[in-house]
Amino acid sequence: MIKWGRGFVRRGIAAVLAGTMAAAAPAQACTNILLLAADGTPVYGRTLEYALETQSDVVVVPRNHEFIGTRPAKMAAPKWSSRYGFVGVMSFGQPFVSDGMNEKGLAGGALYFPGFAGYTPVDKADPSTALAPWEFLTWVLSNFATVAEVEAALDKAVIVDLPAPMVNFTLPFHFPIHDATGASIVIEPIDGKFKVYDNPLGVLTNSPTFDWHLTNVRNYVRISPVGAAALKIGSKSFEPFGQGSGLLGIPGDPTPPSRFIRALGYAASAKQVADGPQTVRLVEHIMNNFDIPIGFIDSAAKGGELEYTQWTSIADLRAKKYYIKGYRDQVLRTVDLMSFDLDAKGLQVAPFKLNLTPPPLEFNKS
């Protein structure tokens, strides 16, 4: 299924960029998956990689919160109010999120899409309705309850080619969107239009385009979690070493095509567990395999910074619980969105504080 549209979206605070465009250096290693529990609960997981500190905080945005977009001088800025409350990760103190989930269980992220994202020129779009790249996800989470609603609204939306203020270049993104029914799509802005794909795999990484990744899966059709049989040549038999021989050839490097195949392998083969809470832990184990430690990708050799996994988020789309952990503090923290007053007047922000000292185990005293 492919759809095209144009259109609308956005909210801003002048002069700074949103959580999603946070870093001034490229972020090429974001990974997204969706798993279903045996009871049908969808659980979404995602990593975020950047080469500069994103100054991330977790924010709960209530219903009826007014968003005001950022625009070049003397241009009208779009405005809208949130229909739904949502939780997500913002950066630099601005309520534009790079990842999040709303009260209806709609969730998604902004993943880097360099070399392929193409937006509408600012002067070709209605300034009262057009969105900057970092505002699109916030518009989605604040306005819609399901994947189908998002898709239906894209003909009223457009993303404009607007440099993010703190980095002075246009941030290229594509967007995995999931809902509480388990439906998933990928939205890719290309040549000023939206290309939308059904995503039954629930997996997304970065460039190239989603359809390219689907074609690339055909290079790995013999890979299996089941061990390979012994090879027999004449009277000689060659047994594989240990377990995992069916996975020989699965790519282990951090490039987006390789991560896509590896993420698909984990998502497709993971033993399904009973419910949302257990699937949250399963997704956490899977996402651990996509951590990039500082120094493994040495972009500094080309004059950049060292890219690494700054945080991992997980969302139970039925329970409306959002989880997050950071690079320097691997304890998974919980935000129960439905425990908040979503008709409150202001934002509620939790600074992403570090706890570098692991808590001690508690022993029973005999």
Is 22 exposed, middle or buried (CB count within 10 Å of its CB: 0-12, 13-18, 19+)?
A: buried
Supply the DSSP string of 153-184, one letter for each residue.
HGGG--BB---BTTTTBPPPEEEEEE-TTS-E
Q: CA torsion angle for 140, 143, 149, 153 (degrees, to 10)? A: -70
**Measured between alpha carbons, how far is 212 from 215 in angstroms, rounded to an integer?**
5
Active site residue 30: yes
Residue with the two structure tokens 């993971």: 270
Residue with the two structure tokens 């493994």: 296
Helix, coil or strand: residue 300: helix
* Candidates 17, 18, 27, 30; catalytic one: 30
**Measured between alpha carbons, how far is 245 from 243 in angstroms, rounded to an integer?**
6
Q: Two tokens at 112?
A: 């880097």
Single-letter amino acid code for the residue at 294 = I
Ramachandran bin of 124, using left for φ above 0, alpha for ψ from -120 to 50, beta for the remaining angles: alpha
Active-site residues, by number, are 30
